[in-house]
Amino acid sequence: MLTSQAGARARNTVTRIDSDASVRRLEPRHPEQAIQIWSYYANAGGNDKDRMVVIATWLLTLSAGIVLYFANQGLPGTAADAIGSAVFALLGAIVAVAAGCLIVLYGGYANSHWLKADAVAEHYGWNDLLPEEESATASIIARKLEAAESGRGWLANRSIRYARSCKPAESLAPVFVWFFWFAFASLAVHLSLLSISIARLWS
């Protein structure tokens, strides 16, 4: 009984040692290595955002092109026209849904990478690399923004607000939110056109 308990404790100790050793091997030994890891994750999140902007822009442009087709052709007047219009409206709705899904997906990828970058910065005490609310220079930034607030216009205030660093554990960056609502609006338009086409088809 005592022997088995001692053996179990020994195995647990070895497991903890192996686990701790693997953690130490994974951690960078020098700050230079750590900053490279932080830069990798921060850049990966930025690349995910850039990729989303490019793909979503192409998809939403295609969606807008379908809406423009309806604007040029007008609403369907015959059953044959209604079938073609319904097909185009359904295609536009699918494109809008695809755009929305890709926006959310890339937003998750970006936030995952930015979370890891923030974790590295927090682990090494690099507070200046954390979101503005948590950075060591947060008070200086807030003071400068407050001092210049009276001289800024509405557009400048909006741009500063939307450009501020977000906390990836709590929210998406504004660019993801805006593109998602564009995709949602596109979907609403195409569903409306689809319902009109189906109504004309059955009338």
pLDDT digits (tens, 9 = 90+) for 109-157: 999 999 999 888 888 888 777 776 666 666 676 666 666 666 666 677 7
Using pLDDT thresholds of 50, 70 and 90, give the confidence band for residue 179.
very high
* pLDDT over 60 at 31, yes or no: yes
More confident residue, 169 or 60: 60
Q: Which residues contact 112 (CB under 8 A, 6 or more apart)?
A: 45, 168
- Report how far apart the first and last C-alpha atoms of the chain are (Å, whole number): 85
Q: Output the average pLDDT for the chain.
A: 78
**What pTM was estimated for this model as a whole?**
0.73
**pLDDT of 29:** 55
Is pLDDT of 163 > 90?
A: no
pLDDT (0 to 100) of residue 151 = 65
Residue 154 has what pLDDT? Answer: 67
Q: What DSSP assignment string belongs to 100-159?
A: HHHHHHHHHHHHHHHHHHHHHHHHTT-GGGS-GGGSTTHHHHHHHHHHTGGG--HHHHHH
**Dihedral angle sign, alpha carbons of residues 99, 101, 104, 109:** negative
Task: Quick: pLDDT tens for 83-109.
Answer: 878 888 899 999 999 999 999 999 999
The per-residue pLDDT for 57 is 96
Task: Locate 124 and state its tokens.
Answer: 């090494």
